[in-house]
Amino acid sequence: MDLADDNDVRSGFARTDDGLELYWRAVGSGEPALVCCNGVGVSTFFFKYVVEHFRERHRVVVWDYRGHGRSSLPPEPIDDADLSIDRCAKDLACVLEAAGVTSPPLLLGHSMGCQVILEYALRHPDGTAGLVPMFGTFSRPLDTFMDSPYSRRAFDTLHRVAKWGGKGGARMLLPLYDSPIAFSFAAATGLLDKHYAGRTDIDKYLEHLAMLDPRIFLRMVSQAGEHDIEAELPDIGVPVLVIAGEKDLFTPLHRSTTMAERIPGAELLVLAEASHAAIVEHPASINLRIERFLRERVLPAGDQRTTDASNVR
Q: For the chain, which residues make up each domain, given as ranges?
A: 2-298
Give, to the nearest 10 degrees, the angle between helix 112-123 and helix 214-226: 60
Whether residue 158 contacts residue 170, with contact meaning beta carbons closer than 8 Å, is answered with no
From the list 140, 112, 134, the residue with the least C-alpha distance to 253 is: 134
Angle, CA 240 vertex, CA 237 and CA 245 arms, to 5°: 145
The pLDDT tens digits of the residues spanning 271-313 come to: 998 988 899 999 999 999 999 999 999 998 656 565 544 334 3
Burial label for 153, CB within 10 Å (0-12, 13-18, 19+), is exposed
The chain-wide mean pLDDT, for the chain, equals 85
Angle in degrees, CA 117, 257, 192, rounded to 5: 75
Q: Which residue would you say has higher pLDDT here, 169 or 218?
A: 218
Q: Are 97 and 121 in contact (CB under 8 A)?
A: no
User: What mean pLDDT do residues 205-223 have?
Assistant: 83
* Percent of the chain with pLDDT strictly greater than 90: 63
Three-class DSSP category at 244? strand
8 Å CB contact between 6 and 91: no
Reported as a single tens digit per residue, the pLDDT across 69-107 is 999 999 888 898 999 999 999 999 999 999 999 999 999
pLDDT higher than threshold 90 for residue 258: yes
CATH, domain range 2-298: 3.40.50.1820
Which region, left, alpha or beta, applies to residue 67 given φ > 0 means left and ψ of -120 to 50 means alpha?
Answer: left
Tell me how far apart the alpha carbons of residues 117 and 113 are, in angstroms, rounded to a whole number: 6
- Per the model's pLDDT, the better-predicted residue between 140 and 210 turns out to be 140
Q: How many CB atoms lie within 10 A of CB 75?
A: 11
CA atoms of 39 and 227, how far apart (whole Å) = 14
Please give the radius of gyration of the chain, using alpha carbons only, rounded to the nearest integer. 18
